[in-house]
Amino acid sequence: MAAFAANSLFARWALTGIDSDPAIDPAGYTAIRMTSGAVMLWLLVAARGGDVSAWASGTWASALALFAYAAFFSFAYITLDTGMGALILFACVQATMIGWGLFKGERPTALAWLGMALALAGLAYLLSPGLSAPDPFGAALMVVSGVAWGVYSLRGRGAADPLAATAGNFIYAAPIALVLCVIMVSRLDISFQGLVLAFVSGAVTSGVGYALWYNVLRHITASNAAVVQLTVPVIATGFGIVVLGEDLTLRIALASLAILGGVAISLVSKPKDS
């Protein structure tokens, strides 16, 4: 979860800079992140003695979900603070995972419905107009990113070989991200600092971090996976305050309590038999 939070920190750091001096553009950041992740994961598969043609374990559907998450994530962090972005992201991740459970026939208890209502109210408050409200366009982009990551997480639960599957998905996603760079070539602007931040995010906190996450997903339920991810916005907010000097506003504090508390109540409530 610290790796997931670090992804928010690195993105915000690279795309806006500590002194509001961007180190890289969103398309370039996404492409370097996906490509370095693909290379690192391919090396890990090869190092353990597995089939180095790791792309055979990936799927285009998962790769598209991974790319959508990463691309919308990058563009959203041009305007969103670290903690704000992470909170919107993972609120939407959990909404997606809970929604899938409902679609598959889960029957939440009254307490679970109450928790979901509290979480939705918190998200609505977070996004409502006001002086401390997040940028609407940036928030919308992060909502799409969160849904895409939720889909990616749900698809990853069935992976027989988490490392190879993650490697394959990154290998498929990398050329899609490079196409985005070609489309936005006139806006590419990559400094050495931006390159380093994108590389670390891709190779370490994304590539290795996601491989570990895929492995964990094999042993826990979708609900428990969502609960664990509740810690990410809190960690990301701390990173943003300590490293980038961001403020902890009353709005994000109250919304965090409502969203995280509501989702936790919903997920720990035992569902009724379908």
Average pLDDT over residues 209-225: 73
Quick check: 90 pLDDT over 50?
Answer: yes
Domain ranges of the chain: 2-268
CA geometry: angle 204, 208, 209, nearest 5 deg: 90
Average pLDDT over residues 162-180: 91
Lowest-pLDDT range of 180-184, 213-217, 220-224: 220-224
DSSP the chain: -HHHHHHHHHHHHHHH-TTS--SS-HHHHHHHHHHHHHHHHHHHHHHTT--S-GGGG--HHHHHHHHHHHHHHHHHTTTS-HHHHHHHHHHHHHHHHHHHHHHTT-B--HHHHHHHHHHHHHHHHHHSSSTTPPPHHHHHHHHHHHHHHHHHHHHHTT-SSHHHHHHHHHHHHHHHHHHHHHHTGGG----HHHHHHHHHIIIIIIIIHHHHHHHHHTSS-HHHHHHHTTHHHHHHHHHHHHHH-----HHHHHHHHHHHHHHHHHHHSPPBP-
Tokens (6 digits) for 50: 């597995």
Average pLDDT over residues 98-118: 78
Q: Which pLDDT does position 215 carry in this prediction?
A: 75
Average pLDDT over residues 76-103: 86
Q: What is the pLDDT of residues 39-75, one digit of tens each?
A: 999 888 888 776 666 556 788 999 999 999 999 999 9
Q: What is the pLDDT of residues 231-240, one digit of tens each?
A: 788 888 888 8
- Output 31 or 127, whichever has higher pLDDT: 31
Q: Which pLDDT does position 274 carry in this prediction?
A: 46
- Output 186 or 104, whichever has higher pLDDT: 186
